[in-house]
Amino acid sequence: MRRLEGKVAIITGAARGIGYSIAEMLSEHGAISVIIDLDQGAVNSAIKQIDDQGNRAIGFTADVTNSQEIASIFKEIHNEFGKIDILINNAGITKDGLLMKMKESDWDAVININLKGTFICTQKVSRYMLKSRSGVIINIASVIGLIGNAGQANYAASKGGIIALTKSSAKEFASRNIRVNAIAPGFIKTEMTDKLPQEVIDNYLAAIPLSCMGTVRDVANLCIFLASEEAGYITGQTIQVDGGLIM
């Protein structure tokens, strides 16, 4: 069943990992996936993979912290398709380190890309969604934004901020039929987790009731539901995809 036939969906940080899986599944369900990422080569590769599956995607190279750049791209997308139905704020980075030793530049980089980038993209897409009185915004947060983590003060603060931003924007936009929700992934198997020492992986798995890592498709599946009409009465929520890690 193609739940999102004809929808126009923007996904930031979507050239690989969780973002790519979301873009791929949105396209499988009939949406036109608009991939935004910093890496032009990876954007081109992601578009080709989706096109090769018989689905549709287009892409832009952009920095989510550049307000003018994002505004220009969103205007171009709206001019081409006449609408923007879905925004997935997925772009994010980590620069881990103990708080007492953390560089201000590492704090700023994570807060700017993860939190400010989400704010900018939400703000710029809202002008189109408010006029059309419809839209779905999904913010990719993290369980770390709910529980914190030693060595990730900047990342935890950015993701906790995204959760708060989700609630505030959901309240502001609800009267115009725009729903805003957040997804908080737990320990998801990606290129990044593949580089972790086995001891670290084992410690995580021991704390997860389902005793396994999640997949990028697990996160994408929830995105499809939240973007669809079936989730029409859900807004302002943060839903965990974590195998029961946080209960």
Catalytic residues: 155
User: Which SS3 state, helix, strand or coil, does residue 199 take?
Assistant: helix
The answer for residues whose C-beta is within 8 angstroms of residue 46's C-beta and 6 or more apart is: 14, 15, 16, 20, 23, 35, 37, 57, 59
Residues 6+ apart with CB under 8 A from 85: 4, 7, 8, 9, 31, 134, 135, 136
Closest residue by Cα to residue 134 from 180, 89, 88: 180
CB 87 within 8 A of CB 182: no
Closest of 52, 56, 59, 54 to residue 16, by C-alpha: 59
Contact of 84 with 78, CB cutoff 8 Å:
yes
CB 14 within 8 Å of CB 22: yes
Phi-psi region of 181 (alpha: psi -120 to 50; beta: other; left: phi over 0): beta
What is the DSSP track for 111-163? IIIIIIHHHHHHHHHHHHHHHHT-EEEEEE--THHHH--TTBHHHHHHHHHHH
